[in-house]
Structure 1
Amino acid sequence: MATLTVPPSVPSPAEDAEQLQKAFAGWGTNEDLIISILAHRNAVQRKLIRQTYAETYGEDLLKALDKELSSDFERSVLLWTLDAAERDAFLTNEATKKLTSSNWVLMEIACTRSSMELFMARQAYHARYKKCLEEDIAYHTTGDFRKLLVPLASTFRYEGPEVNMALARSEAKILHEKIHEQAYNHDELIRIVTTRSKAQLNATLNHYNNEFGNAINKDLKADPNDEFLKLLRSAIKCLTCPEKHFEKVLRLAINKLGTDEWALTRVVTTRAEVDMQRIKEQYHKRNSVPLDRAIANDTSGDYKEMLLALVGHEGA
């Protein structure tokens, strides 16, 4: 599903590491060279480049990049160079900090990663921060947000396609009852959303739609300004149709009032090797403009070039 463009013949990690070292040498940094290498290597190749760079030059590549680069371009390169689990651990930790706290980022990571990816993110969190990811989420959230986010982050969902239709019917009924009673934080509602496999949840929500005549997210819009309901709707969207969630994040990030670079960088670096093609199709359909053109119009310089390379812009 990825649209990342990797050249047909890739230089060895040693050659790439040497070229990156050259990009840092001398008076100025060669940003174009950094983009031409890192933005066109897949996760396995980037990991090997980092290992080789550390062995050859005695320095972590991330530290070297941190010294040489700045602002949004630096953030996009650093996030991209981390492996997926480290990146998720970093973003989760940042989302629990006072100045950068975000329930949205916590929910997005918990709902759009596979069980194994989430497990690896928890391990990476442990290794890097010497703390437990769920513990930090619990400590930095409150009330209904905590009640939803902690089980989302700690679950290990079944990943297979098997679906129990009788269960889908009974749980659709439970969801409808609780929503009708406006008991949005009810234990049963939270349990269904946070523990059922994505296939089972899809079956339940399809039944909900057919049986009760409304999509669940429509019924959860009773109070459009309720922040918990917004998060719950987005969690359901992330679990069942992630490209629609990411399209919306991108649409809101690229707007006429100014760009939300953090959101733009997060989506591009975390989804480039996952479902960027689907996100691009969804974006084009929803906004009648290709995503790469929207990004090009809204960003500039090295940051723009990096993002365009990651979304698979033909000319990158």
Structure 2
Amino acid sequence: MATLIVPSSVPSPDDDAAQLKKAFAGWGTNEALIIEILAHRNAAQRKLIRDAYGAAYGEDLLKDLDAELSSDFQRAVLLWTLEPADRDAYLVNEASKRLTASNVVIMEIACSRSSTDLFKVRQTYHARYKKSLEEDVAYHTSGDIRKLLVPLVTAFRYEGDEVNMTLARSEAKILHAKISEKAYSDDELIRILSTRSKAQINATLNHYNDHFGNAINKDLKADPNNEVLTLLRAAIKCLTSPEKYFQKVLRMAINKLGTDEWALTRVVTTRAEVDMQRIAEEYQKRNSIPLAKAIAGDTSGDYEKMLLALVGKGHA
């Protein structure tokens, strides 16, 4: 359930590339034209535009966008123009750097992508950075956080709906026992979260809730300052109900004293073609304000226009 509005008849990639070249010409950049084109093309169309631009002008569209635009608008346009696997690889690499380190971004990409998509991210990372994603994540983390994140980014889960209820019951007991012992980085707990299909994890956690009378994330709130617990809760939410996870990231980004533009940009650009409609519904339900209105109240200028176009409130 994406919200991206793509016009019913789209110009050819060559025409779009020519229009973008025109947007860069002259004294000022035509930001409105950039939004009109790029924010209303899907991933396959954006790739064709980038290819056509390279063929026609011998330049990389991304480099020209980088040179012409600035600040949050620039970041939103650049992230959006990248192919999904390339964008995720870029975000993980950024999240594993010292100054931009973010374990939650690494977890988010590991847990909210399909197995095939995550596999493509690892392949792209390899090609782009000449090393493995796992290697960088392992190098830039340590202790219990490394112990949790490395298996999550290497996961290749079964994607089907089949569920083994006997297994769900026995693994719910294992999870409850480990959490009761505060053994949050126990091998068994990590094995269950990093290898089971999302459907199986859902069944296990439903059983946990029914049998032990508490949602697992409630039991994982024992120490609010423990980063491992925070990551575990976020991973569970991401694996079982991504729309609830992402609405919360958006809410925190918007309601912060001073907007967290990086989080806002990341969620909008990575989910616009995936499940933004569900996220927006969840956001409205939880915050009693439409997501587009919340974004408009907290951003301005071309950045605001770009984000609103991606959440389905721009004009195609």
Q: CA deviation at 1:222?
A: 1.1
Map 1:65-80 to 2 at 5 A. Answer: 65-80=65-80
Q: For residues 195 and 292 of structure 1, do their structure 2 counterparts lie closer, same or farther at Cα, with a shift above 3 Å needed?
A: same
Distance between the aligned counterparts of 2:99 and 2:165, measured in 1? 45
Other-structure match for 2:235: 235
Map 1:1-316 to 2 at 5 A. Answer: 1-255=1-255, 257-313=257-313
Distance between the aligned counterparts of 1:90 and 1:277, measured in 2? 25
Q: Secondary structure at the match of 1:259?
A: coil
Distance between the aligned counterparts of 1:257 and 1:299, measured in 2? 13
Distance between the aligned counterparts of 1:226 and 1:103, measured in 2? 13
Q: CA deviation at 1:165?
A: 0.6
Aligned residues: 316
Q: CA deviation at 1:314?
A: 5.3
Distance between the aligned counterparts of 1:299 and 1:21, measured in 2? 27
Distance between the aligned counterparts of 2:66 and 2:315, measured in 1? 27
- Provide, for residues 96-115 of structure 1, a one-character-per-residue CA deviation record: whole Å limited to 9, x for no partner: 01110000000000000001
- Provide, for residues 94-144 of structure 1, a one-character-per-residue CA deviation record: whole Å limited to 9, x for no partner: 000111000000000000000110010011101110010000000000111
Unaligned 5+ residue runs, structure 2? none
Q: Which moved more, 1:114-123 or 1:218-227?
A: 218-227
Aligned partners of 2:305 and 2:314 also within 8 Å: no
Aligned partners of 2:175 and 2:189 also within 8 Å: yes
Distance between the aligned counterparts of 1:261 and 1:224, measured in 2? 24
Distance between the aligned counterparts of 1:111 and 1:49, measured in 2? 30
Unaligned 5+ residue runs, structure 1? none
Amino acid at match of 1:180: S
Amino acid at match of 1:243: E
Q: CA deviation at 1:225?
A: 1.8
Q: CA deviation at 1:315?
A: 5.2
**What TM-score, normalized to structure 1?**
0.99
Q: CA deviation at 1:223?
A: 1.2
Aligned partners of 2:253 and 2:259 also within 8 Å: yes
Amino acid at match of 1:177: A
CA RMSD of aligned residues (A): 0.8
Amino acid at match of 1:293: K
Distance between the aligned counterparts of 1:79 and 1:226, measured in 2? 31
Distance between the aligned counterparts of 2:202 and 2:296, measured in 1? 35
Amino acid at match of 1:311: V
Amino acid at match of 1:59: E
Distance between the aligned counterparts of 1:293 and 1:314, measured in 2? 12
Q: CA deviation at 1:287?
A: 0.5
Amino acid at match of 1:179: I
Sequence identity of aligned pairs in percent?
A: 77
Q: CA deviation at 1:224?
A: 1.8
Distance between the aligned counterparts of 2:284 and 2:123, measured in 1? 36
